[in-house]
Amino acid sequence: MSTEQTTTGSDFSYELTRTLDAPVGRVWQAWTTPDQYARWAYAAPGSVEMDVRPGGAWKATMVTPDGGEAPLTGSFLEVAENRLLVVGMDVPGRPEPSRMTVKLDADGGRTRIALHQTCGTAEERAVSEQGSTMLLDSLTAFLAEGA
C-alpha cells in the first residue's frame, strides 16, 4: 500500500490517493455493497442502504469513536462501474450537497484509489479529510482480511 495526500489551500478541497493490494472489482464491491460497506466504513450494522445508480439514494448511520451515532444521507451523482463514484452527501444548513469523487484505476492485481472532496470551509475540510483518511485506513485493513 502506498499513500499520497494533497491539500489545496485556496478552495478547501483535498485529495487522498492510495494503491490498494486488491483488484479493482473487489474494491468496487467493498464500496458499493451495503453489508461490505458497513463492515469497514464505521456504519451501524443494518443501517446502510444504497441504490448505486445516478440519482439513487444512500443512507448510513455512522458510529463515532466515542460510541455516538451520526445519520448520513445523500445520493449517487455519477456511477461508472469499477471506475467512478461521485457521491452527494447532505450537509445540514447547506443548500447543495457536498461532493466526494472516488476514482478507481486498475494496476495489475492492485487498485489505485483517488478520493477528492471540496468543502465549504477550512474547518469542514479538516474534519472531512481526517474522516476520509480513517475510511481509507479501514478499507485497506478490510481488503487485507480477504473478507
pLDDT at 8 over 70: no
Does 147 have pLDDT greater than 70? no
Taking residue 20's Cβ as centre, other Cβ atoms within 10 Å add up to: 23
Q: How confident is the model at residue 98 (pLDDT cuts 50, 70, 90)?
A: confident
**Boundaries of domain holding 91:** 2-145
Q: What was the pLDDT predicted at 142?
A: 96
What value does the mean pLDDT take over residues 52-71? 92
Q: Judge whether 20 and 111 are in contact, CB under 8 Å.
A: yes
Domains in the chain: how many in total?
1
DSSP letter assigned to residue 10: T
Q: How far is CA 69 from the centre of its chain?
A: 18
* pLDDT on residue 65: 82
Pairing of strands 57-63, 69-80: antiparallel
Overall pTM surpassing 0.75 (yes/no) = yes
The pLDDT value given to residue 7: 43
Q: What CATH number does the domain containing 139 carry? A: 3.30.530.20
Q: What value does the mean pLDDT take over residues 27-34?
A: 96
